[in-house]
Amino acid sequence: MEAGNIVLIGFMGSGKSTVSRRLARRLHWDVVDTDRLVEEQAGLGIPDIFASVGEAGFRELETRVIAGLRAVRRTVVATGGGVILSGENRRLLRELGFTVWLTASPDVLFERVSRNSDRPLLQSANPRETLDRLLEERRQRYTEVADCVVDSTHLSHRAVVDLITARAGQYFGWERVGSG
Ligand code: S3P
């Protein structure tokens, strides 16, 4: 049984956090961001979580956060880019509602993630190579979870929100939702 939320999945830099806030505003829904919930639970920022408990420790916290979302309704859920790596997470996310895979070209993703250094997985000798490899490793997982795919390479945030609203309307069988 699926809970009627909208879940945004996608690689780092695909725009999940920004789009989730704007989409929630449009729909008058709540918004949560699993990265922020993990940080709240740990009392640490993501780079510090990776430094102290490693990626495996971060993934455990992430799964606990996702499992804790079972009761949310009318909520836009933004997720971390690696959330789809765990089979349990993939199942939990699908139960949460309509799942949207936000994508963008590797060049655009790289340009966006290069603006800050808060992503431990990309602090490598060759971040572009790492990005390409992770994308390839994860593509199939995103596909498994996604009810629909939105490519934001050439779209404004507003256009992305328009598209997701329209697709969600078809999925949930809504009447037209006003824009704004
Ligand atoms: C990760 C993506 C990050 C964050 C963590 C790990 C990943 O979230 O969860 O750094 O494995 O792709 P964003 O996709 O919001 O950057």
Give the pLDDT confidence of 60-117 residue by residue, as tens digits: 999 999 999 999 999 999 999 999 999 999 999 999 999 999 999 999 999 999 998 8
**Helix (H/G/I), strand (E/B), else coil: 32:** strand
Q: What is the separation of C-alpha 21 from the centre of its chain, rounded to a whole number of angstroms? A: 12
Asked whether the beta carbons of 77 and 3 are under 8 A apart, the reply is no
Distance CA 9, CA 6 (A): 10
CA dist 170 → 156, 167, 173, 175 (Å): 22, 5, 5, 9
- Give 21 or 179, the one with higher predicted confidence: 21
Q: Is residue 10 in contact with ligand 1, taking CB distance under 6 Å? A: no
pLDDT value at residue 33: 98
Per-residue confidence (pLDDT) for residue 176, from 0 to 100: 57
pLDDT exceeds 70 at position 177: no
Residue owning tokens 């956090």: 17
* Helix H or strand E segment including 170: helix 157-172
Query: Is residue 141 within 6 Å of ligand 1 at its C-beta?
Result: no
User: What's residue 116's pLDDT?
Assistant: 86
Q: Which atom of ligand 1 is nearest to the CA of 120?
A: 10
Q: Is 12 in contact with 120 (CB distance < 8 Å)?
A: no
Atom of ligand 1 nearest to the CA of 16: 15
> What pLDDT score does 3 carry?
83
Residues of the chain above pLDDT 70, percent? 96
pLDDT of 159 over the 80 cut? yes
CA-closest residue to ligand 1 atom 15: 80
Q: Quick one: which H or E segment has residue 134?
A: helix 127-145
Q: Does ligand 1 come within 6 angstroms of the Cβ of 38? A: no
Q: Kindly state if the Cβ of 121 falls inside 6 Å of ligand 1.
A: yes
Q: Decide whether any atom of ligand 1 lies within 6 Å of the 15 Cβ.
A: no
Q: What tokens appear for 73 in the block? A: 């309704």
